[in-house]
Amino acid sequence: MASKHNTNASKKVAPKKKTGATSKSAAARTPARRAPTPSAKVAASTKAELFPEGEEGIDLVLIAKSPKKVHVQAIALSPSSRHVVAGDLEKGCRIIDVESGDVRALSRAKEQVAQIGFLDDDTAIIGDAKGLIRVVDLHTGAEQVGVPAGGGSRMTALCVASGVVAYGRVSGPISLWRPGSAPTDIAGKRGHLVGIAMNEQLLCTSYFGDDDGPTVTVTVFDPRTGEELRSLTTKAGGSVSNIVIVGGHVVAATTGGDGKPEILSWKGDALVARATLPENGQVDSLSVLDDKTVACAQFHTLTHVDVTNGTTRASTTEPWVVASAQPGGMAVVAPHDGNVGVYDLKARALLLQRACAPVRYAALGADRITIATCDDRGDITVYRAHPIQ
């Protein structure tokens, strides 16, 4: 399962529906499509920043073939985008060096990989289906068990910030762990953790089925001490699916229950803004654009929400899936027609795209130009957007 709470982690893309045999020529060409109406000034500025030499493209860097067909369920890029880490349902895990093309298979774990995060650019944090954390050197593949399995419960959320690892499971408490020390369980609620966000001052969490009745709750802790600071509760349908911290606001997306999802924004203890999204269905990504704006991507719709007052801005309807987003508004998109592209959420502009095989998972690196994808066979492909010389 891909984490929604790690900015480098992937987001699952629904598999392409089979409509019969596809010719090689059809798969190779880029279908014509209408790009969303962009803010020309913002889009041009972003292109100039990413591609100062002018003409740009997306280059195929490498393809790491899987020895056999496997179902990859987690893929992530390290902070510098130098390494790709991918875990599969058969308890395998691969580290791919993007620069050299070397593929290192880790010793097979006892359980499936459930979550992937990064302590720094040299160290991956891998959580498995029994709640066990492994610490892995990305350069050598050397492993150590960082945290013993806590109650044998599947890890459902993991977040890393300022050298602290916060994680939760299907059952049990939230735990804080600093490498080199024992984990600390946060007192309070126990349950199926589904949402998590953390910075140096705040750790925000939400559980599946947090309350009886039509309410949702986000609990806020101090990540340095584990002390509960506040419990934020309001009437809303469904449960929380995504959490981000925006300029002092705690912002959550709901699943909507039988209705449409909402964006809820708290400042301190007060609910200061809420907005109903235009489309039924889950929020695929919740990306921070600036200190008061988030971009909410659903299957067909992109909506900007002002977290200070709940106003929404023009939505863009396109047959795309936003697969992975970075703070600041850059995202990788992998629609069902077999393309992959770089998208500017702030300008609502598709900057680049190229044809590719149908994608199952995709991740965008923090450099905003490195893209890692995997297909139904388990092959990992890395692309890099770049100026064409």
Q: What is the CATH number of the domain that holds 261?
A: 2.130.10.10
Structural domains counted in the chain: 2
Mean pLDDT of 161-186: 83
For residue 24, with 0-12 CB atoms within 10 Å meaning exposed, 13-18 middle and 19 or more buried, which class applies? exposed
pLDDT in tens, 250-271: 999 998 887 889 999 999 999 9
Let me know whether 203 and 277 are in one domain.
Answer: yes
pLDDT in tens, 109-122: 677 888 899 999 99
What CATH number did the domain enclosing 165 receive? Answer: 2.40.128.630
Let me know whether 274 and 221 are in one domain.
Answer: yes
- Write the DSSP string, 364-386: E-TTSSEEEEE-TT--EEEEEEE
Mean pLDDT of 239-249: 91
| 284, pLDDT greater than 60 | yes
Let me know whether 248 and 299 are in one domain.
Answer: yes
Let me know whether 150 and 231 are in one domain.
Answer: no
Find out whether 216 and 234 touch, Cβ atoms under 8 Å. yes
Q: Which residues of 358-387 are buried (b: 16+ CB within 10 A; e: fewer)?
A: bbbbbbbbbbbbbbbbbbeebbbbbbbbbe
Let me know whether 163 and 230 are in one domain.
Answer: no
Whether 4 is covered by a domain: the verdict is: no
Confidence at 28, pLDDT banded by 50, 70, 90 = very low
Confidence at 213, pLDDT banded by 50, 70, 90 = low
pTM: 0.78
Whether 332 is covered by a domain: the verdict is: no
pLDDT in tens, 115-155: 899 999 999 998 877 777 888 999 998 887 766 545 556 77
pLDDT in tens, 72-92: 888 999 999 999 999 888 888
Whether 312 is covered by a domain: the verdict is: yes
Whether 136 is covered by a domain: the verdict is: yes
Let me know whether 89 and 167 are in one domain.
Answer: yes
Whether 120 is covered by a domain: the verdict is: yes
Choose the final residue of a domain: 296, 317, 338. Answer: 317
Its domain, for residue 175, covers: 82-179
Whether 109 is covered by a domain: the verdict is: yes
Choose the final residue of a domain: 293, 317, 341. Answer: 317
pLDDT in tens, 294-338: 998 887 788 899 999 999 986 665 656 666 777 778 888 877 667
Let me know whether 311 and 199 are in one domain.
Answer: yes
Choose the final residue of a domain: 317, 346, 373. Answer: 317
Whether 385 is covered by a domain: the verdict is: no
Predicted pLDDT at 211? 47
| 363, pLDDT greater than 50 | yes
For residue 237, with 0-12 CB atoms within 10 Å meaning exposed, 13-18 middle and 19 or more buried, which class applies? middle
Tokens encoding 216: 């949702």
Whether 54 is covered by a domain: the verdict is: no
Mean pLDDT of 156-172: 83
SS3 153: coil
Mean pLDDT of 101-116: 81
More confident of the two residues 32 and 368: 368
